[in-house]
Amino acid sequence: MDMITVKDGTKIYFKDWGSGRPLFFHHGWPLSADDWDSQMMFFLEHGFRVIAHDRRGHGRSTQTFLGHDMDTYAADVAELVDVLDLKDSVHIGHSTGGGEVARYVARYGKGRVAKAVLISAIPPTFMKSDKNPDGVPKEVVDGIRNGTANHRAQFYKDITIPFYGFNRPGAVVSEGIQENWWRQGMMGAATAHYQCVKVLSETEFYDDLKIIDIPVLVMHGEDDQICPFPTTGARSVKLLKNGTLKSYPGFPHGMPTTHADQINADLLAFIES
Segment 76-88, tens digit of pLDDT: 999 999 999 999 9
Q: Which of 27, 58, 193, 253 is catalytic?
A: 253
Give me the pLDDT at residue 9, please.
98
pLDDT band at 1 (very low <50, low <70, confident <90, very high): low
Give the chain's radius of gyration (CA, Å): 17
44-49: long-range contacts, CB 8 A cutoff, minimum separation 24? 44/17, 44/18, 46/268, 47/18, 47/20, 48/18, 48/20, 48/21, 48/22, 48/23, 48/271, 49/16, 49/17, 49/18, 49/19, 49/20, 49/21, 49/22, 49/23
126 neighbors 239 (Cβ within 8 angstroms): no
Q: Are strands 89-94 and 22-26 parallel, antiparallel or unpaired?
A: parallel
Give yes or no for residue 126 having a pLDDT over 80.
Answer: yes
123 neighbors 216 (Cβ within 8 angstroms): no
Cβ contacts of 111 within 8 Å, gap of 6 or more: 87
In the residue annotation, 223 being an active-site residue is answered as no
Cβ contacts of 172 within 8 Å, gap of 6 or more: none
As to burial, measured by CB atoms within 10 angstroms (0-12 exposed, 13-18 middle, 19+ buried), residue 41 is middle
What average pLDDT does this structure show over 175-202?
A: 98
- The amino acid present at 240, given as its one-letter code, is L
Overall pTM > 0.95: yes
> What is the topology classification, in CATH, of domain 3-272?
Rossmann fold (3.40.50)
225 neighbors 252 (Cβ within 8 angstroms): yes
Q: Please choose, from the candidates 273, 262, 271, the residue with its C-alpha nearest in 3D space to the C-alpha of residue 49.
A: 271
Give yes or no for residue 49 having a pLDDT over 80.
Answer: yes
In the residue annotation, 236 being an active-site residue is answered as no
Give me the pLDDT at residue 204, please.
97
In the residue annotation, 129 being an active-site residue is answered as no
What average pLDDT does this structure show over 236-247?
A: 97
Fill in the DSSP letter of residue 46. Answer: T
Q: Which of 32, 95, 120, 201 is catalytic?
A: 95
Q: Which of 53, 193, 224, 236 is catalytic?
A: 224
